[in-house]
Amino acid sequence: MSHCFSKLGALVLSLAACLCLATAAVANEPIKIGFNLPLTGDIPEVGEGSKNAAEMYLKDVNDAGGLEVGGEQYPLEFIYMDNESKPDSAVNAALKLIEQESVVAVIGPNSSNQAVPAGGTCNDNRVPMISPWSTNVNTTLDRPWVFRAAFLDDFQGVVAANFASSKFDAKKAAVIFDISNPYSDGLANVFKGAWEKKHGEGSVVAFVSHGAKDQDFSAQLTKIIAAAPDFIFVPDNYNQTALIIPQARDLGYQGPFMGADAWGTPDLIKLCGQDCYGQYFSTHYAAAGATGATKEFIDRYKEAYGSVPADYAALTWDAIGLMLQAIQNAGTVERNPRKMRKLVREGLASIKSFPGITGDMKFDEQGDPIKCAVVVEIDDQGEFVFAESVCP
């Protein structure tokens, strides 16, 4: 009897030891990060690309045992919330992530149209947020809890003006923009100021707006064509640009177009076709000819998802890298979300430079990166090809 008991006792002790080891291995609860993404609505391609990049990053970290913070490993949990490409939905998504999911930080929204209001919500609730793609100055302005991975429109507008002036030997510019979108409206005005500083008052010969839901741009384009510009600047989202350029061609306009980073998705070519070939836009990185860590990311993304990652996917990768660096800078993981959020914000503010796949960046006091822009050409295969790099 005692012999049997000793065997049973040994087995129980052995199982208990295994259970203790297993419990120790999973003792740390996951660090929860929220993603505020346009998975439906006007720009679902942006949300999909960002989520794809996030899923790649998540797998890398968790397959390696988690994120090391203060000498311990913590698994990551990414929670995706759809903002429907709408400003009010972005605010609601932010509140759900903060109040219901108790995330320690938020990545996104991407588009300034959603990032500006959602940034206000995160700042008011003292939750650190990084927008991967938003370029409007108001996203981070006087908001110590909000950061970004993209350059600002104050820089991008000047890049577009200088490039178009030189490339097209242009003296007269026209602009068409979405007045309801802070990104488009803000960038249009920055460009106008930069162009007139370079070429004089009145050198923007047409400055016309449209609404968010407009499909027919013939009235605006007729006015632009009558003003005889040397080129047309279109700081619109890709879905709107894909309507504007073919309609301009149908009305007889043969000149060049210049765009901005919201053009930078393969869906532009799917929707616009050959009418967009030969045009240029400023953006955050060029996939064609990439090297090093950037090429490695592109190759892995293509293998996983069957397409070349657009700039918002690459910027999401960098935004995650920045957020994880901030968590590691915190040095410890607090279970109280409010305490942890404060540590993460301090960790973000302490990052002075970061080697991103969209370029090396340094940060100013507003949480904005100082980094280079890229101008790409859409070639006759519909590929985005590097044309020029422009640094501050």
Which residue reads 């700042």 in tokens? 123
Question: Does residue 237 share a domain with residue 143?
Answer: no
Average pLDDT over residues 107-132: 98
pLDDT at 13 over 70: no
Question: Does residue 276 share a domain with residue 161?
Answer: yes
Report how far residue 107's alpha carbon sits from residue 142's, in angstroms, rounded to the nearest whole number: 19
Average pLDDT over residues 45-54: 97
Question: Does residue 176 share a domain with residue 142?
Answer: no
Question: Does residue 278 share a domain with residue 171?
Answer: yes
Q: Determine, yes or no, domain membership for 95.
A: yes
Question: Does residue 215 share a domain with residue 113?
Answer: no
Bigger pLDDT: 365 or 241?
Answer: 241
Q: Of 259, 283, 307, which closes a domain? A: 283
For residue 378, what are the β-bridge partners? 384
Q: Determine, yes or no, domain membership for 19.
A: no
- Domains in the chain, number: 2
Q: Determine, yes or no, domain membership for 189.
A: yes
pLDDT at 45: 94
pLDDT at 161 over 80: yes
Please report the sign of the dihedral spanned by the C-alpha atoms of residue 82, residue 243, residue 390, residue 196. Answer: negative
pLDDT at 289: 84
The answer to whether residues 340 and 151 touch, using CB atoms and an 8 Å cutoff, is no
Q: Determine, yes or no, domain membership for 133.
A: yes
Report how far residue 37's alpha carbon sits from residue 81's, in angstroms, rounded to the nearest whole number: 6
Question: Does residue 138 share a domain with residue 226?
Answer: no
Report in angstroms the alpha-carbon separations of 200 from 192, 195, 197, 203. 10, 8, 6, 6
pLDDT at 22: 42
Report in angstroms the alpha-carbon separations of 365 from 74, 206, 216. 30, 36, 42
Which residue reads 């007139």 in tokens? 196
Question: Does residue 160 share a domain with residue 275?
Answer: yes
Question: Does residue 179 share a domain with residue 278?
Answer: yes
pLDDT at 2: 42
Per the prediction, the chain carries an average pLDDT of 92
pLDDT at 9: 42
Question: Does residue 365 share a domain with residue 310?
Answer: yes
pLDDT at 29: 95
Report how far residue 383's alpha carbon sits from residue 387's, in angstroms, rounded to the nearest whole number: 12
pLDDT at 304: 97
pLDDT at 50 over 70: yes
Q: Of 283, 315, 346, which closes a domain? A: 283
The closest alpha carbon to 36, from 134, 115, 133, 136, belongs to: 115
pLDDT at 122: 98
Report how far residue 174's alpha carbon sits from residue 225's, in angstroms, rounded to the nearest whole number: 9
The pair of structure tokens assigned to 26 is 């999973």
- What CATH number has the domain bearing residue 217? 3.40.50.2300
pLDDT at 14 over 50: no
pLDDT at 18 over 60: no
* Weakest-pLDDT range from 13-17, 98-102, 366-370: 13-17
The pair of structure tokens assigned to 370 is 């100082």
Report how far residue 170's alpha carbon sits from residue 134's, in angstroms, rounded to the nearest whole number: 28
292: left (phi over 0), alpha (psi -120 to 50) or beta: left
Average pLDDT over residues 142-169: 96
pLDDT at 266: 87
Question: Does residue 174 share a domain with residue 129?
Answer: no
Question: Does residue 206 share a domain with residue 251?
Answer: yes
The closest alpha carbon to 116, from 80, 87, 89, belongs to: 87
pLDDT at 27: 67
pLDDT at 392: 82
The answer to whether residues 276 and 258 touch, using CB atoms and an 8 Å cutoff, is no
pLDDT tens for residues 305-360? 999 999 999 999 999 999 999 999 999 999 999 999 999 999 999 999 999 999 99
Q: Determine, yes or no, domain membership for 7.
A: no
Question: Does residue 253 share a domain with residue 312?
Answer: no
pLDDT at 7 over 70: no
Tell me which residue range forms the domain holding 295.
31-151+290-371
pLDDT at 163 over 70: yes
Report in angstroms the alpha-carbon separations of 290 from 199, 253, 334, 386. 35, 34, 39, 9
pLDDT at 6 over 70: no
Q: Determine, yes or no, domain membership for 11.
A: no
Q: Determine, yes or no, domain membership for 379.
A: no
The closest alpha carbon to 266, from 310, 234, 226, 300, belongs to: 310
pLDDT tens for residues 208-267? 999 999 999 999 999 999 999 999 999 999 999 999 999 999 999 999 999 999 999 889
pLDDT at 332: 97
pLDDT at 372: 93
